[in-house]
């Protein structure tokens, strides 16, 4: 079964770019994502990128949604 969501590291590998670039695209609002809150992570939680949203984003030419 394919994963429904990717971590920043997995998304970077799938796109062939650095993790820093993915974080920057998220910060700029260019890449759709969800932030999952987690205890014990200093309030940062985890960023997940939906595989479907990533594919849709790529089909749109990489423009922000």
CATH of the domain at 39: 1.10.1660.10
Domain of 19, in residue numbers: 5-59
Confidence (pTM): 0.77
Q: Does residue 64 fall inside a structural domain?
A: no
Q: Does residue 53 fall inside a structural domain?
A: yes
Angle at 44 between CA 40 and CA 48, to 5 degrees: 110
Angle subtended by helix axes 51-59 and 8-15, to nearest 10: 40
What the block records as the tokens of 60 is 């749109």
pLDDT band at 43 (very low <50, low <70, confident <90, very high): low
Domain count, the chain: 1
* pLDDT recorded at residue 62: 65
Q: Does residue 55 fall inside a structural domain?
A: yes
Q: Does residue 65 fall inside a structural domain?
A: no
pLDDT band at 40 (very low <50, low <70, confident <90, very high): low
Q: Does residue 25 fall inside a structural domain?
A: yes
* pLDDT recorded at residue 27: 93
Q: Does residue 47 fall inside a structural domain?
A: yes
Span 15-37, pLDDT tens digits: 999 999 999 999 999 999 998 88
């Amino acid at each position: 079964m394919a994963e429904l969501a990717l971590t920043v590291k997995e998304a970077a590998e799938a796109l062939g770019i650095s993790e820093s670039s993915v974080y920057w695209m998220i910060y700029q609002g260019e890449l759709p994502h969800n932030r999952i809150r987690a205890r014990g992570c200093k309030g940062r939680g985890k960023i997940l990128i939906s595989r479907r949203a990533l594919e849709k984003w790529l089909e749109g030419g990489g423009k922000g949604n």
